[in-house]
Structure formats: structure tokens, C-alpha cells
Amino acid sequence: MSFDIIIRGGTVVTAADTFACDVGIRDGKIAALGHDLGDATAIIDATDRLVLPGGIDSHVHFAQPSGDGIVMADGFASGTRSAAFGGNTTVLPFCLQEKGQTLREALKHYHSLADGECHVDVAFHLIVTDPTEHVLGQELPALVEDGYTSLKVFMTYEGLALSDRELLETMAVARETGAMLMVHAENFDAIRFLTDRLERAGNTAPRFHATSRPIPVEREATHRAISLSELVDVPIMIVHVSNREAMDEIRRAQQRGLRVMGETCPQYLMLTEKDLDQLNMEGAKYVCSPPPRDIASQQACWEGLQQKVFSVFSSDHCPFRYDDPQGKLAPKGRTSFRWVPNGIPGVATRLPILFSEGVVKGRIDLNSFVAFSATNHAKIYGLYPRKGTIAVGSDADIALWDPKRKVTIRHELIHDGADYTPYEGLEVTGWPVLTMVRGKVVVEDGTLVGGKEHGTYLPRSKPPGAATIP
Ligand code: DUC
Ligand code: ZN
Ligand code: ZN
């Protein structure tokens, strides 16, 4: 039996096990795991390397419209390129329905942007902003059957926020169709109230972004989202959780037997609101929502991972250039934090940060790292076992990892479309040295070797965790 590629001499890590083993790859799939696998067209030496399932980042934004005159720094080509440099093999960006648009129209647009432009595999979550009878009654059920098996709803933002009634109606459709529902939980009216008050007092610098959406804003909405989902009896994923109080809401729901899941992100482990408090407009680089909090909140988010209150660790990559009138330094943003584009880059730094701060510093074990960075994403969003593990029959999506390599994060290592990284100068131990998507090497030793036609769109199964409850 011969293979296209054998990855030889490495240590394979899955969410369950760690074992010395060679990996035989044929036709883009993992065909054998074992020793003495025989011949292959190519041998990849994995001595002293970890052989990990490629990262799956189930929360990224590419090419999303973000306000008048603002342009997101990444489209699909640069976004998926950066993802590959960071050891990721699949990403799940959002398809944003604009008001008045059908979901099919929105999808047609995002597919046209993505087709032939992706270095890694891609699937879309739908953002539902206009839950009309047609959208809820006809489009969504048909699209879930077509493989768009997750959607996100917002509880804040002009043009995006749904009322409680609309949330309930959308949740009911998620329940009936078996789709996974992601919730952005912040209280819209509270943010508007606080923002107006801050502006009236002349408090308009970027640091007041954090003051305008403090922890109770997130805690209240998290509690409400959970309560509404309980009424409908539908599983939900609370995305980008930033602090203990929101995390405790999720934990309590889980202890009561509700299927409420949680996600946290690198910014909530590594940044604080002090990062927003810098001279001139520098703080704009860290404006994202929910905002980074404080050291105690970082500790709480680590606990959420350690105690498995959170099941996924995603980047929420939402990049804008800093020194750019179409980015963080848009002229209106100087008049108030309200107009600073909301989001930070992170798809390339997610895995090195979790590995270094989590595994190397002894906060989480290696198998949990794989679960949080790949396997759980695949399971929760309907891609498992094709994606997210190293097993015979799975796609040969692999990140070869040097667990000892010390790297100082610099923007030039990131290869995205932004002009900065919030983690500039951070020293990490552990780095992806090769990224392979379906048996094809895409990045090797810091060099892009794969073309942007290789990544494909992935229709997904219904997530088992969202299956209709009898
Ligand atoms: N929510 C996200 O999920 N990403 C960026 C900004 C936001 O509010
Ligand atoms: Zn969000
Ligand atoms: Zn996001």
C-alpha cells in the first residue's frame, strides 16, 4: 500500500489522545495511522513536532460591510492566507443579511467574494438581521437543509439588533430546523444610554468604548438570551464571552441542564481596558465588543476554559487597518468612540497564544488545546469527523507544530490585510511550522506555498448538539 504523503516520526495529538504515530495520506484524506507505513511519494519529517488537527476558527469576519466609508481589512484571500499562517485549515466567516435583503441574496454575494479566493476551507454562518415571515418560514429552513446549519443573532447594534420577540421567533426556527444559534449578548438600549451620556460629558476618546458597555450590559443580555432560549427549548452558543459574570450565567444554565455553550477569544485572555487608554487614537487599535476587561476577567475566562464552561476558543477576527481613513482612524472616529470600527484582527495569533499561554504555562493540557481550537468547533458546527480530528477517513487537515519554538509576535508574521496586530511584541513558545489542507501543503516554514484556489466551501451537517429536542 503506498501513500501520497507520510508524515513520519511525529507525536499525533487529538482531543482524546497523544501518541507517537506516522500518518499516511492518500487523495487528501488520512488513510492510515501506524508505524512502518511503507512508501509514499513524499515524506514529511515530523521528528520533535506535534501533529495536530488543523485549527478550525468558527468565528471570523471577512469582507463584511462595517459602516459608512469603512472597509474591513481582510477579504477572503488575505483572511484565509493569514488563517493558514496561523495553523488553521478551516474558518467559518459570517454571511451578513442586510436589512431588506433575502438570505439567498446575501449568500450569493459572499460566495462570489469567496469562490476561488480561499487558501483554507470555508463554511458560512448566517447573520439574521431581518427575520421576516419569508426568511423564517421559507428561506432559513431550506438553507439549513442545504448545509448552512448555523446562524448568529445580535442583541445590539443599529441595523443588526433583534427585539426579544424577533429573537424568540428566530430561536423557534433554529429549534425546528436543528440549526446552531450563536448569540451576541449585549444590551442595546443600555449601550445607547451610556454612550449618549458619555458623549454629552465630552468623554469621546477610544477608552470610553469600554465604559459604554460595562460588564452588566453583557451579563444582563447573556441572562436574557439564556432565558429566551429556555422558553423555546433550543441550544445556543454565547459568543465572545469576556468576563466572570457572563461566564457564570452560562455555567448556571449548564448546571440546570440547559444546552447553553460558550465561546471566549484571545482578547479576553490577553488584553484589558487599559489597552484602550493610550495617547492620541492608539487605543482605537483595541476597540472591540465586548471590550477587553481587567485581569480578574482574564482569570475568569481561563477558568471558563479549564472547567469547560466554554467549549470553543475562537479569534473573532474582525480586522480594520489602523492608519487608514477607512479603518480605525476614520475621521468620524476622532469625534467619538461610537464611530471607531469595532473589531480586532487575530486569526493568525489565536493558536500560538492559546498554546503558549495555555499549554506551555500549564493552564490547560494539550488535548484540551486541540478540543478548544479544532475538534469542538467541528462537532458543534456540523463538520465532524470530516474535520477537527486525526483519524482514518478524516480530511488530511494538519498543523505541524514546533512546541519549543520561541517567537516574538510581529505584524510581518501575520500576513493579513491589517497594518498591526494587538499582540505586537508578545513572546510565545510554540509555533505552526507547516499547514496542510486536504493533503496539500499551504504554508511551510513561514512561506505561502499553496494557491488561493485550493480552499473549498463546506456544506455542513446539522450539528448533533442542536438536534431537535423531542
Ligand atoms: N461582534 C462580533 O462578533 N465581532 C466583531 C464585532 C462584534 O460586535
Ligand atoms: Zn458579536
Ligand atoms: Zn465576531
User: What pLDDT, in 10s, does the model give residues 238-285?
Assistant: 999 999 999 999 999 999 999 999 999 999 999 999 999 999 999 999
Q: Mean pLDDT across the stretch 125-129?
A: 98
Q: Quick one: which of 367, 243, 238 has its CA closest to 299?
A: 243
Q: Which residue has the cell 514546533?
A: 402
What is the distance in angstroms between the CA of the first residue and the CA of the last residue of the chain?
Answer: 46
Question: Containing H/E element for 183?
Answer: strand 180-184
Alpha helix segments (H runs only) across 330-381? 350-353, 366-370, 376-380
- In this predicted model, what pLDDT tens digit does every residue of 153-164 receive, in sequence order? 999 999 999 999
Please, which pLDDT band fits residue 470 given cuts at 50, 70 and 90?
very low
CA-proximal residue: ligand 1, atom 5 (nearest): 343
- Backbone phi, psi, residue 127, to 5°: -100, 115
Cα–Cα distance measured from residue 182 to residue 195, given in angstroms and rounded to the nearest whole number: 25
Amino acid 67: pLDDT: 87
Nearest to 285 by CA among 411, 194, 183: 411
Query: Ligand 2 centre from 240 Cα, in Å?
Result: 7
Q: Which atom of ligand 1 is closest in space to residue 342's alpha carbon?
A: 6
Ligand 1 centroid distance, CA of 238 (Å): 12
pLDDT at 68: 87
User: What is the overall mean pLDDT for the chain?
Assistant: 97
Please check the confidence at residue 1 and state whether its pLDDT lies above 90: no
Domains with residue ranges and CATH for the chain: 54-363 (3.20.20.140)
Ligand 1 contact via 342 beta carbon (within 6 Å): yes
Distances (CA, A) of 343 to 199, 241, 310, 385: 21, 14, 21, 31
Residue 344 dihedral angles phi and psi, to the nearest 5°: -135, 155
- The minimum-distance atom of ligand 1 relative to the CA of 290 is 8
* Nearest protein Cα to ligand 1, atom 8: 289
- The Cα–Cα gap between 113 and 80 comes to 12
Q: What's the farthest any 2 CA atoms get from each other in the chain? A: 74
317 Cβ closer than 6 Å to some ligand 1 atom:
no
pLDDT-derived band at 464 (thresholds 50, 70, 90) equals confident
Question: What's the helix, strand, coil split of the chain in %, to 5?
Answer: 35, 25, 45
Question: Confidence band (pLDDT; 50, 70, 90) for 465?
Answer: confident
Which ligand 1 atom minimizes the distance to the CA of 94?
3
Closest CA to 97 of 64, 61, 69: 64
Give yes or no for a cis peptide into 325 (omega within 30° of 0): no
90 lines ligand 1 (CB under 6 A): no
Neighbours of ion ligand 3 (CB under 5 A): 316
User: Angle CA(285)–CA(290)–CA(291) in degrees, nearest 5?
Assistant: 45
Q: Is the CB of 346 under 6 A from ligand 1?
A: no
Q: What are the pLDDT digits (tens) for 52-111?
A: 999 999 999 999 999 889 999 999 999 999 999 999 999 999 999 999 999 999 999 999
List, in sequence order, the alpha helices (H) in 58-163: 76-85, 103-114, 133-134, 140-145
CA of 164 to the centre of ligand 3 (A): 21
**What confidence category does residue 468 fall into, taking pLDDT thresholds of 50, 70 and 90?**
low
pTM higher than 0.85: yes
Confidence of residue 37 (pLDDT cuts 50, 70, 90): very high
CA 429 to ligand 3 centroid distance, Å: 27
| pLDDT tens-digit map of 314-331 | 999 999 999 999 999 999
Strand 121-122 and strand 88-96: the pairing is: parallel
> CB within 5 A of ion ligand 2: which residues?
184
Query: Using omega within 30 degrees of 0 as the cis cutoff, is the peptide bond preceding 432 cis?
Result: no
Q: In degrees rounded to 5, what are phi and psi of residue 386?
A: -60, -40
Backbone angles phi, psi at 51, to 5 degrees: -105, 105
Helix (H, G, I), strand (E, B) or coil at 91: strand
- Residue 312 confidence class, pLDDT cut points 50, 70, 90: very high
Per-residue pLDDT, 263:
98
Q: How far is CA 373 from CA 16, 237, 264, 358, 381, in A?
A: 13, 16, 11, 12, 13
Pick from 57, 61, 186 the residue to mutate for probing ligand 1's pocket: most ligand atoms within 8 Å of its CB.
61
Ligand 1: does its nearest atom lie under 6 Å from the Cβ of 184? yes
Using CA atoms, how far residue 164 sits from 187, 231, 394, in Å, is: 11, 12, 40
Other CB atoms within a 10 A radius of the CB of residue 100 amount to: 9
Query: 184 CB contacts (<8 Å, ≥6 apart)?
Result: 152, 153, 154, 155, 156, 157, 239, 240, 289
